[in-house]
Amino acid sequence: MAFSPLTSGCSNYCNVGIGWKSSSWFVQFGFFSNGVSAKPTKNNGSKGFRVCASSSSSSDPLLVKAARRERVSRPPAWMMRQAGRYMAVYRKLAEKHPSFRERSETTDLIVEISLQPWEAFHPDGVIIFSDILTPLPAFGVQFDIEDVRGPVIQSPIRSEEGLKSLHSIDLEKLQFVGDSLRILRKEVGDQAAILGFVGAPWTIATYIVEGGTTRTYTKIKDMCHTAPHVLRALLSHLSKAIAEYIVYQVESGAHCIQIFDSWGGQLPPHMWDCWSKPYIDEIVSTIKRKCPQTPLVLYINGNGGLLERMKTTGVDVIGLDWTVDMADGRKRLGTDIGIQGNVDPATLFCPLPALTDEIRRVVKSAGTRGHILNLGHGVLVGTPEDAVAHFFDVAKSFDFDKVEDHVSEADKVVA
C-alpha cells in the first residue's frame, strides 16, 4: 500500500481498515492479522499462562485499597526512583557492582536494592529495581547501557527487515524478575504493596527506533508518516509482549503495576491517540481480563494535555507529573478514578516546613479517596535522605477519619 505525503496524516492511520495487517510481509514475518506474533509462547517462569487471582481482601496493602478507591485512613505513599543514587547505601553497592545491567538483572542485587528504601523509610509501595528496557532481549532486541550515552540499541528497527528479529517473549530470560518479586513479596508481606512496572509500547518503541535516548524523536515521528505499517507492527508486537510480561509480574507477586509512557508526552494529543493510546488500551484490556483485581497505574511525563485521554484507557489510577495542579487534575478526571502524585521532586531540596506544606496542599487537593501520594517524577540525584524520610513521616501523619480539614472540594465533585 502506497502512502503519499498528502495522505500520511495520523487520522488516516487510525482507521481499522488501512490494509497493512493483511500484507504478505506481515504474515511472512510471523504475525497474525491482529498484530501479535504467530509463534507459540512458552509457559516460562510459571506453570502456564494462568488467570490471576480475582479476589480482594481486607488484608490488602493500603496502596492497593487506595488504588481501588476503597476507604483508607491516610494516603499511601511511595516515590518513583525511590531506590537509587540519592541513597548512600546504594552508591556503596554500585561501587562494588558498577554495571547497571548487573544490578538490575541479578536477583540478589535486585532484592537488596529494592529493599534499601523499605528498610530506611518504610514506604507503602516497594517497587522492583529494574528498567523499562529490561525485557527487550527476551523478545529479540539487544541493548547495552553505556556510561555517557545511556541505553544503546544494537540494531534499531526502522524497516520491514528489522521486524524479522522480533519473536514472542521468552519469560525464561526474565526469571530474575519473577524470582525477585517472589522474594520481595515474602520479605515485605502485606505491610506494603509490591510494585511491578513496564514501559508503554510507544515509549519502548522510541528507544528501539531511535537507537537509544533522544531529545527530538525525529526518526520515530518520521516513521509515523513514511513507514506507518512498520511502526504499527512494532507497536503491536510490543503490546502483546508487555501484556504477557505484566501477567508474569503479577503471578510472581506484584500487587500493582505501573505503566510508564514516559515519552508519550512528546506526542501532540491527536498523535498520542493514534500511536500510543490504542496499544495501552490493548494491554489494559488483556490485564483486566486476566488479572481483574490488579490495579494499573498510568504515568506520562508532561501529561497536562492528555489527562482526559489517559482516563479512557481503563486504568485504575492516573499519575500526574508536577506541572499539573492537583486540584485541577482532580476536577478534570473526576472522583471515579484514582490519582497519584504529584509533589515537585525539587521540593525535597527545600526547608522541611516548606515540604510539609506542599505535601498537605497536594493531599488536600486530591481528596481522601483514591489518592496515592508520590512525586510528580522520580527522586532527583542528590536529594537529601532526611527529606525523603520526612516525606514519608508526613504522609503517615494524616488521619482521614479524624481530620475533617483534609476533605477537599474534589470529594464533592460528582463523578
Give the per-residue pLDDT at 403.
Answer: 57
- pLDDT one-digit tens code per residue, 381-394: 999 999 999 999 99
- Residue 34 domain-assigned? no
Q: Is the pTM of this model over 0.75?
A: yes
- Residue 338 domain-assigned? yes
- Residue 308 domain-assigned? yes
| Residues forming a β-bridge with 126 | 194
- Mean pLDDT check: name the lowest of 49-63, 106-120, 232-246: 49-63
Give the per-residue pLDDT at 157.
Answer: 98
- Residue 8 domain-assigned? no
Of 25-29, 54-58, 400-404, the range with the highest mean pLDDT is 400-404
Instruction: Find the mean pLDDT for residues 38-62.
Output: 56
Is residue 236's pLDDT more than 60? Answer: yes
- Could you count the other beta carbons within 10 Å of the beta carbon of residue 336? 11
- Residue 282 domain-assigned? yes
Q: Which residues constitute the domain of residue 85?
A: 74-404
- Could you count the other beta carbons within 10 Å of the beta carbon of residue 115? 17
Is residue 31's pLDDT more than 80? Answer: no
- Residue 218 domain-assigned? yes
- Mean pLDDT check: name the lowest of 84-93, 191-200, 361-370, 401-410: 401-410
The identity of residue 229, as a single letter, is H
- pLDDT one-digit tens code per residue, 156-198: 999 999 999 999 999 999 999 999 999 999 999 999 999 999 9
- Residue 44 domain-assigned? no
- Could you count the other beta carbons within 10 Å of the beta carbon of residue 380? 16
Query: How far from 362 is each of 131, 311, 339, CA to CA, in Å?
Result: 28, 20, 11
Residue of 127, 119, 77 whose CA lies nearest to 395: 77
- Residue 136 domain-assigned? yes
CB-based contact 323:358 (threshold 8 Å): no
Collapsed DSSP state (helix, strand, coil) of residue 183: helix
How many domains is the chain partitioned into structurally?
1
CA angle, 284 then 242 then 274, to 5°: 60
CA–CA gap between residue 315 and residue 228 (Å, rounded) = 27
CA–CA gap between residue 168 and residue 248 (Å, rounded) = 14
CA–CA gap between residue 124 and residue 390 (Å, rounded) = 14
CA–CA gap between residue 330 and residue 308 (Å, rounded) = 11
Residue with cell 488504588: 67
Give the per-residue pLDDT at 149.
Answer: 86
Instruction: Find the mean pLDDT for residues 109-119.
Output: 98
356: CATH: 3.20.20.210
